[in-house]
Amino acid sequence: MEVDKGKGEAEETRKVAEADRDTVTLKSSDGKLFEVSKEAAARLSTVLAGMIAGGSIDDNGTDLKQIGSEALENVVDYCNKHANSIPSAALISSSISFNTAPFKEPEEWERKFVDRLSHDALFDLVEAANFLGMERLLDVTCHKISEMMKGKSPDQIREVFNIKNDYTKEELEEIRQELAWAFYDD
């Protein structure tokens, strides 16, 4: 029904609409705004679920100061894709029976989702997933990282994760001898 409204009425309608909006607005550390399905956010993130339930969602953009815009865009993208994907048997069974089926391999779309990310974007996304308590996204991103680690030497692992070696040569040699089985070439 198209009816002209006065300014006050429009404001009123907007407020009502926001109260039962089915999305939430998230704000990255650099001030960018992202809309995400409320249902998917609550289902996939324990932190966002808590905020939604506790009423601490800001309609003008809930501040997530720890998360940059690129990572937040990926989080939102993941949530929306997840909301659109058919609930998989894998996820249903993992929620019912965590004891016997804790980890399910990433699905095809999840695999593609992380495969397209740059190295830095992937690492930022892991941090964001950890911060937001997103178990499934952590599974998917960490699975990708563990695949990247396959066949890598400690030197190469240091390079990937930007960490400094604080072992002495002797310490490294001792461990290598002790656990020689872990070091022969693939």
Partner 1 sequence: MPPQLPDDVVEEILARFPPDEPALLVRAALACKAWHRIVSGAGFRRRFRQFHRTPPVLGFLRNVGYGKEFARFVPTSTFRPRRADWGGWRATAASSSTDVARFVRATRFYPCRGERRDFRALDARHGRVLLASMPWEPGLKVQGLEVWDPVTDELWELPDVPHPHSPTSWNAAVVCGAHGVCDHLDCRRKPFLDVFLDSRPKKKMRLFVYSSEAGTWSEPTYGPPSPTNGVEMVPPALVGNALHFLIDATYIILKYDLATRTVSTIFLPDDFISDFAALTTTEDGRLGFARVEKRTAKDNRFTVTCIHDHWSMDRSIVLETLLNVDACSIRNDCVAFAHGVGVFFVGTDVEWFSIDLKSGRVRKENYGDGFNYGVVPYTSFYTPGIALLGP
In angstroms, rounded to a whole number, what is the distance separating the alpha carbons of residues 104 and 28? 30
In angstroms, rounded to a whole number, what is the distance separating the alpha carbons of residues 4 and 33? 30
62-63 β-sheet, strand order: 33-37, 23-27, 62-63
**Residue 124 beta carbon to partner 1: minimum distance, rounded to whole angstroms:** 8
The SS3 assignment for 35 reads strand
∠ Cα 168 174 175 (to 5°):
95
For residue 23, give the H/E element and its range.
strand 23-27
In angstroms, rounded to a whole number, what is the distance separating the alpha carbons of residues 2 and 16? 18
Comparison of 3 and 179: residue with beta carbon closer to partner 1: 179
In angstroms, rounded to a whole number, what is the distance separating the alpha carbons of residues 64 and 132? 9
**Residue 146 beta carbon to partner 1: minimum distance, rounded to whole angstroms:** 5
**Residue 47 beta carbon to partner 1: minimum distance, rounded to whole angstroms:** 14
Comparison of 60 and 146: residue with beta carbon closer to partner 1: 146
Comparison of 84 and 97: residue with beta carbon closer to partner 1: 97
Comparison of 31 and 184: residue with beta carbon closer to partner 1: 184
**Residue 126 beta carbon to partner 1: minimum distance, rounded to whole angstroms:** 6
**Residue 182 beta carbon to partner 1: minimum distance, rounded to whole angstroms:** 4
Comparison of 24 and 132: residue with beta carbon closer to partner 1: 132
In angstroms, rounded to a whole number, what is the distance separating the alpha carbons of residues 72 and 155? 31
**Residue 38 beta carbon to partner 1: minimum distance, rounded to whole angstroms:** 26
Tell me which residues touch partner 1 (CB under 8 A).
Answer: 99-100, 102-103, 119-120, 123, 126-127, 130, 138-139, 142-143, 145-146, 149-150, 152-154, 157-158, 160-167, 171-172, 174-176, 178-184
Comparison of 70 and 139: residue with beta carbon closer to partner 1: 139
In angstroms, rounded to a whole number, what is the distance separating the alpha carbons of residues 142 and 122? 9
